Amino acid sequence: MDIQKKRRIGIAAVALIVVLAVAYGFMPKPVPVDVVPAARGLLRVTVEEQGKTSVKDRYVISAPVSGFLRRIELKAADPVEQGMQVAFIEPARSQALDPRSRAEAEEAVASARANLNAARQQEHAAKADADYATDRLERFKSLYERRSIAKDTLDQAASESKRARAVHSSAAAQANAAGAELARAERVLENYGAGRAVSSRDIVAVQSPVQGRVLRLLRESEGAIGAGEPIMEVGNPGNLEVRVEVLSSDAVKIGKGTRVLFEHWGGGVPLSGVVRVVEPGGFTKVSSLGVEEQRVVVLVDFTTPREVWESLGDAYRLDASFITWEGKDVLQVPAGAAFRSGKGWAVFVVEDNRARLRAVRAGRSNGLSTEIVSGLKEGETVIAHPDDTIEDGTRVTPAAA
């Protein structure tokens, strides 16, 4: 009897252990979560964009006339003085003649030379007639003084002498015109591309309008250039500003005097600046994803001493952070810890290894941290990134670091 009783007690104990093991297996296990304490500290709300440095007073030197630009001897970063001659423009070179045009030009030269010879011969003939008429008039004067001829005969000889001189002058003028025509035809055949000497009075010197340095050469090699075509940019590289293109929805939060921090510019410490101008007009820009955006240009002046950022040059990239709000002693939690619950905000507070849903009043957020105005005390532990598995009363355990 005692043996059977012991056997029943053993079977009951085994059954109880199995039941407890099964029950334990179906019990929910604590969910590992990341926890952080609510803490006070500095909170900044910023607008983040990329910007580029730019010389404030930039001057683009352009060609005042069309012509042939000589090679620019200056290099980028070379100093220039106000009124310094930085470029020289010669008269435009003539185009090279193709075989047909050259043949026509040679025929024009031959024709002009023949016309010149004919005009010179006519000039010689007219000169001979004029000399004869002049000599004849002198003889008639002598005869008239001896009363051998009538006055009318003398007057007729004088008229013929004048007519002969006029014909000679006309022939001489025609010969000069034929000579000019021959010179013009011969000039067409000249090779203007083979280093033809140019008079200094024909060269236009381009001067720098200000003192500074060459920022960029837009044309360096010699060649034909049109009026108004840019040659180089000059300015003072030490007088920099930062040009930032921000979304129009962010630009309304930024005003004159807004503080700016610049990071990832290559130096060891962030730079500071202040907004000088928020341009009143926006423009459309297509983003890298193909989305049209309305952007506004914001100009920022450095407030950090120049010796800190003197290594910066024109068109250098910086990451700009516009500080639209700042608090020094703000109770805050990670931005992912606060979430919408009904019409307000809530967080999960860890109490006795269980998640407890608590309604809070959230303030400003910078995307990384969120201000807690009320509903939470400093030092209380909250779940940093609650997911769908977390509910009010869920058992939790801190995740291993």
Measured CA to CA, the distance from residue 32 to residue 400 in angstroms comes to 8
Closest residue by Cα to residue 353 from 25, 30, 24, 28: 30
Q: What is the arithmetic mean of pLDDT over 65-79?
A: 92
Q: What is the arithmetic mean of pLDDT over 319-324?
A: 95
Q: Given this model, what pLDDT does residue 55 score?
A: 93
Q: Given this model, what pLDDT does residue 193 score?
A: 46
Q: Given this model, what pLDDT does residue 197 score?
A: 59
Closest residue by Cα to residue 95 from 183, 193, 197, 227: 193
Question: Model confidence at 298, in pLDDT bands (50, 70, 90)?
Answer: very high
Question: What number does CATH give the domain 46-55+237-326?
Answer: 2.40.30.170
Measured CA to CA, the distance from residue 106 to residue 99 in angstroms comes to 11
Q: Which CATH number fits domain 28-42+329-398: 1.10.760.10, 1.20.120.1080, 2.60.120.10, 2.40.420.20?
A: 2.40.420.20
The dihedral sign for the CA sequence 235, 241, 246, 252:
negative
Q: Given this model, what pLDDT does residue 14 score?
A: 67
Q: What is the arithmetic mean of pLDDT over 167-176?
A: 90
Q: Given this model, what pLDDT does residue 109 score?
A: 85
Proportion of the chain in helix, strand, coil states, percent, rounded to 5: 30, 40, 30
CATH architecture, range 59-94+196-234: Beta Barrel (2.40)
Residues sharing a CB contact under 8 Å with residue 199, sequence separation 6 or more, in sequence order: none
Residue percentage of the chain with pLDDT more than 70: 91
- Give whole-number Cα distances, 230 to 64, 86, 223, 375, in Å: 10, 13, 13, 64
Q: Given this model, what pLDDT does residue 381 score?
A: 94
Measured CA to CA, the distance from residue 109 to residue 209 in angstroms comes to 47
Question: Model confidence at 158, in pLDDT bands (50, 70, 90)?
Answer: confident
The DSSP code for 400 is P
Q: Given this model, what pLDDT does residue 87 score?
A: 95
Q: What is the arithmetic mean of pLDDT over 254-261?
A: 96
Closest residue by Cα to residue 76 from 276, 231, 255: 231
223: which 2 tokens? 């060649």
- CB burial of residue 362 (10 Å; 0-12, 13-18, 19+): buried
| Average pLDDT of the residues of the chain | 88
The DSSP code for 49 is E
Q: Given this model, what pLDDT does residue 82 score?
A: 93
Q: Given this model, what pLDDT does residue 42 score?
A: 94
3 state DSSP class of 256: coil
Q: Give the helix/strand (H/E) hosting 172.
A: helix 151-188
Measured CA to CA, the distance from residue 23 to residue 369 in angstroms comes to 42
Please compute Rg for the chain using Cα positions.
49
> Residue 29 pLDDT more than 90?
no
Q: What is the arithmetic mean of pLDDT over 345-354?
A: 93
> Residue 3 pLDDT more than 80?
no
Measured CA to CA, the distance from residue 256 to residue 261 in angstroms comes to 15
Looking at mean pLDDT, say which of 27-41, 88-102, 120-134, 234-248 comes out highest: 234-248
Between 5 and 309, name the one with better pLDDT: 309
Question: Model confidence at 248, in pLDDT bands (50, 70, 90)?
Answer: very high
Q: Given this model, what pLDDT does residue 108 score?
A: 86
Question: Model confidence at 18, in pLDDT bands (50, 70, 90)?
Answer: low
3 state DSSP class of 264: coil
> Residue 370 pLDDT more than 90?
yes
Q: Given this model, what pLDDT does residue 327 score?
A: 93
